[in-house]
Structure 1
Amino acid sequence: MEANKPIGWYLKEADQQITSYMNDVFKDLSITRFHWMVIRNIAERGRINTWQFFQEVKHFVTVQEYGEIIQLFKDRGWIVIGAEDTCTLTAAGEEAYRDLAALQKERAAHMMRGISDEEYKLTLSVLNRIIENIVQQ
Structure 2
Amino acid sequence: MPDMEAQRPIGWWVRRLDALLEQAVDSAVAGEELTRRHWQVLHSLAEGASGDLRATLADFPGDVGAVVTDLVERGWVERSTDDGLTLTAEGRAGHDRVAAAVGRVRKHVADGLSAQEYEHAILVLGRMVENVQRALERPED
**Shared fold by TM > 0.5?**
yes
Offset at 1:133? 1.5
Q: What are the ranges of 5 or more consecutive residues in structure 2 without an aligned counterpart? A: 136-141
Q: 2:50 aligns with which of 38, 43, 48?
A: 48
Q: 2:87 aligns with which of 60, 65, 89?
A: 89
Offset at 1:126? 1.1
Instruction: Give SS of 1:84's match.
Output: coil
Structure 1 pair 111/134, CA: closer, same or farther in 2 (3 Å)? closer
Offset at 1:59? 2.7
Query: Residues 53 and 64 of structure 2 are in contact (CA less than 8 Å); yes or no, is this contact kept in structure 1?
Result: no
| 2:9 aligned residue | 6
In 2, distance between residues paired with 1:16 and 1:31? Answer: 17
In 1, distance between residues paired with 2:14 and 2:105? Answer: 19
The one-letter code sitting in structure 2 at the alignment partner of 1:72 is: D
In 2, distance between residues paired with 1:54 and 1:48? Answer: 11
Q: 2:129 aligns with which of 125, 128, 131?
A: 131
Instruction: Give SS of 1:48's match.
Output: coil
Offset at 1:103? 1.3
User: Would you tell me which structure has more helix in proportion to its own residues?
Assistant: 1
- Residue 22 in 1 paired to residue 20 in 2? no
Over the matched positions of the two proteins, sequence identity in percent amounts to: 29
Offset from partner CA, 1:26-48 (integer Å, 9 cap, x none) = 11222111110110110111x41
Q: What are the ranges of 5 or more consecutive residues in structure 1 without an aligned counterpart? A: none
Question: Who wins on radius of gyration, i.e. which is larger?
Answer: 2
Moved more, 115-124 or 53-62: 53-62
TM-score, with structure 1 as normaliser: 0.88
Offset from partner CA, 1:53-91 (integer Å, 9 cap, x none) = 2112123124xx211100111011001111332110111
TM-score, with structure 2 as normaliser: 0.86
